[in-house]
Amino acid sequence: MDELYLDNIDEFVNDHDKIVTYKWLSLTLGVHVNTAKQMLYHYLDHKRKESSAQLHATYLVSGKFEDNGQTGHKVSVVKEDQLEDFKSKMSLVVSVHVYSVQKALLKDSGPLYSVDYDAVKDNLKNCTKFSAIRCASAVPMSSLELQQARQIHQVPAPEPEHKKPAMNGEANASKPSTKPQKGIMGMFASKAAPKNQDNVKDIKTEQKEDTPVAEAPKSKPAAKANPMMNFFGTQTAKKPDKTEKKEEAAQSSSSAEVQRQSSQPEEKREAPAVQPPKDTKKEARSKSKRVVDSDSEEEKMEKKKRRRIKKPEPDSSDEDVIPDSPQQMKTRELSPSPEKEVEPVSHSPSQGNSQKTRKRRRVLKARTFVDDEGCIVTEKCYESESYSETEDDVQATKQASKDPVPAKRPASHKPDEKKSQKKTSANANKGSKQASIMGFFQKK
C-alpha cells in the first residue's frame, strides 16, 4: 500500500504528463491533504536519489516578513530555485512544503491554478473532506430547513400548501409536455410550433417507458426549469428550483415523484392558465395515447393563454400569434371579469387522471352587448374561465359521436379516459379551426 502511491504519482507525472499538485493528489487518491504533501515529498526524494527523470517541483513558503515596521504574513508559491531566496527574505518561516511536482519547468503559475480548479470542480460536494479543519455547523441544510428559512423571508407562502391535495391528480396529455419548450421559446413563438411538436413526440416516447427512465426526463425539466425561473421570476419559483436540485441529489424515482408533485402547486399558483412544465412527469402514470394532430391546436391555445399573462413582454411574441388578437385586446378592456360558464366546445387541456379540479382555460364565446351607438353587438372572443373536469367530461360525452361512450367519472379506468380524451381533443380540433356547427346551439 505504501509503495503503491509512489507508482501512482510516477504514472501521473511521467506517463500522463500531468502537473500533480498536493490538492489534486489528495482529491484523486482520497487522502488527507497532509498525507498528500508527504507523498509528494517522498516521491520527489525518491526520484532525486535515483536521479532518473528530470523533475521540477514548486514549493509553498509561508512566513512572517517586515514591511515598514508592520509584520505581515506572506504565503507564496515559488519555484525550486527561488525557494532559498524567499526563505532568506522572511523573518520567520512558518511552513514550507511541496506544492506540486511536474515534468516540465513551469514559467507561469497559471497551470497550477487550472489544475486545482478542475480538481475542485469535479469534487464540489466534498472539496473540504480532506482538509485539516472541520466545522461543525457547516452542514448543508435539508430541503425542509431550506423551505423554512425561505418562508421566514417570504410572505405569500401558505397558498401552495392547501392547493397541494387538489392538484395531485393532474395529468395532462400533450399540453404540459409542450409547456417547457414554450416557456423558453415564447419569444420565438413562430418557430416554436414545429419544434414543439418534435419535442412533444420525443417526450412522449420517453414517458411511455417505465420509471427507470423517469429520471431522464426529470433532469430535462430541471434544466428547462432554470430558464423558466427567469420567466416566472418570483419567490415561489425558487421552491421548484430547490426541489428540483434536491431531486437530482436524491435520485430515486419515488422520492422524486413526491417532490415533483410538491413543486407543481407553486407553479400552478403562479400561472394558472399556463400549465406547469412539471406536469410532464405525470406521464409516467398516464399511458394515454396522444393525438398528434391535436397538438398544434392546443399549442395555439397555449400561446393565446400565455399571451394574456405575458402582456408586458415584447410585441414580437404577440404578433406571431393568432390574428384575432386586436379583437381580444378590445374585449379584454370591455370585460374585465371573466365569466364562468360551462361551455361545450373545449379545446383546452383534457385531463387524463385528474380528479375534480377547477382550472382556467380559454374558451371561444360570443358576447352580446350594447355599444356606444346603442346597437347590440355580438362578438366572439376568447375568455378565460374556470371549469372542472367533470363538466368537461360530461360535455365531451354529449358531443360524442354515435359510439355509446358511457359517461364515466374521471376517477375511473384509463382506457375510458383515453377515449373521452380523444374525443375532447378531436372536438377541440374541430372547434379551433372553425366555428363549430354546434355553436348555434350553445348555451348563452
Q: Please say which residue, 255 or 386, places its beta carbon nearer to another protein.
A: 255
Q: Please say which residue, 111 or 338, places its beta carbon nearer to another protein.
A: 111
Q: How far apart are CA 318 and CA 304, in angstroms?
A: 9
108 binds another protein (CB under 8 A): yes
91 binds another protein (CB under 8 A): no
Cell reading at 241: 428550483
Q: Please say which residue, 4 or 133, places its beta carbon nearer to another protein.
A: 133
Give exposure, 207-237, as e/b (b: 16+ Cβ within 10 Å). beeeeeebeebbebbbebbeebbebbeeebb
Task: Output the CA–CA distances (angstroms, integers) from residue 427 to 13, 149, 401, in the order listed.
Answer: 70, 48, 10
Question: Which one among 46, 52, 66, 75 touches another protein, defined by CB under 8 A?
Answer: 75
CB of 88 to another protein, least distance (A): 14
Judged by CB under 8 A, the chain residues 109 through 168 that form the site for another protein are: 109-110, 112-113, 116-117, 120-121, 124, 127-128, 130-135, 137-141, 145-146
Number of amino acids touching another protein (CB under 8 A): 56
CB of 178 to another protein, least distance (A): 23
CB of 137 to another protein, least distance (A): 6
Question: Which one among 73, 208, 340, 409 touches another protein, defined by CB under 8 A?
Answer: 73
Question: Which one among 53, 92, 94, 334 touches another protein, defined by CB under 8 A?
Answer: 94
Judged by CB under 8 A, the chain residues 42 through 71 that form the site for another protein are: 58, 60, 62, 67, 70-71
Q: Please say which residue, 55 or 428, places its beta carbon nearer to another protein.
A: 55
335 binds another protein (CB under 8 A): no
Q: What is the largest CA-CA distance in the chain?
A: 106
Task: Output the CA–CA distances (angstroms, integers) from residue 64 to 6, 72, 81, 86, 146, in the order listed.
Answer: 33, 6, 20, 11, 42
> DSSP states of 358-397 as a string?
EEEEEEEEEEEEE-TTS-EEEEEEEEEEEEEHHHHHHHHH
Q: Please say which residue, 259 or 357, places its beta carbon nearer to another protein.
A: 259
Taking CB under 8 A as the binding criterion, the range among 32-40, 305-313, 333-341, 377-385 that sits at the site for another protein is: 32-40
Q: How far apart are CA 68 and CA 30, in angstroms?
A: 43
- For cell 395555439, the residue is 300
Q: Please say which residue, 98 or 284, places its beta carbon nearer to another protein.
A: 98
| Residue 381 neighbours by CB under 8 Å, 6+ apart | 327, 328, 331, 335, 364, 365, 366, 367
CB atoms within 10 A of CB 421: 28
CB 241 within 8 A of CB 277: no
Give exposure, 169-183, as e/b (b: 16+ Cβ within 10 Å). bbbbbbbbbbbbbbb
Judged by CB under 8 A, the chain residues 230 through 269 that form the site for another protein are: 238, 241-242, 245
CB of 2 to another protein, least distance (A): 21
Cell reading at 43: 516521491
CB of 35 to another protein, least distance (A): 12
Question: Which one among 77, 101, 171, 364 touches another protein, defined by CB under 8 A?
Answer: 77
Residue (of 307, 288, 286, 273) closest to 192 by Cα position:
307
CB of 84 to another protein, least distance (A): 13
Q: CA dihedral defined by 202, 207, 212, 214, rounded to 10 degrees?
A: 90
Q: Please say which residue, 246 or 418, places its beta carbon nearer to another protein.
A: 246
Q: Please say which residue, 97 or 164, places its beta carbon nearer to another protein.
A: 97
Taking CB under 8 A as the binding criterion, the range among 10-18, 44-52, 101-109, 369-377 that sits at the site for another protein is: 101-109
- DSSP annotation of 127 reads T
CB 169 within 8 A of CB 353: yes
Q: How far apart are CA 198 and CA 213, in angstroms?
A: 19
Question: Which one among 39, 40, 57, 78 touches another protein, defined by CB under 8 A?
Answer: 78
Q: How far apart are CA 232 and CA 236, in angstroms?
A: 9
Question: Which one among 19, 25, 33, 192 touches another protein, defined by CB under 8 A?
Answer: 33
Binding track, positions 287-306, relative to another protein; x by CB under 8 A:
--------------------
Contacting positions for another protein (CB under 8 A): 22-23, 26, 33-34, 37, 58, 60, 62, 67, 70-79, 82, 94-97, 107-110, 112-113, 116-117, 120-121, 124, 127-128, 130-135, 137-141, 145-146, 229, 238, 241-242, 245
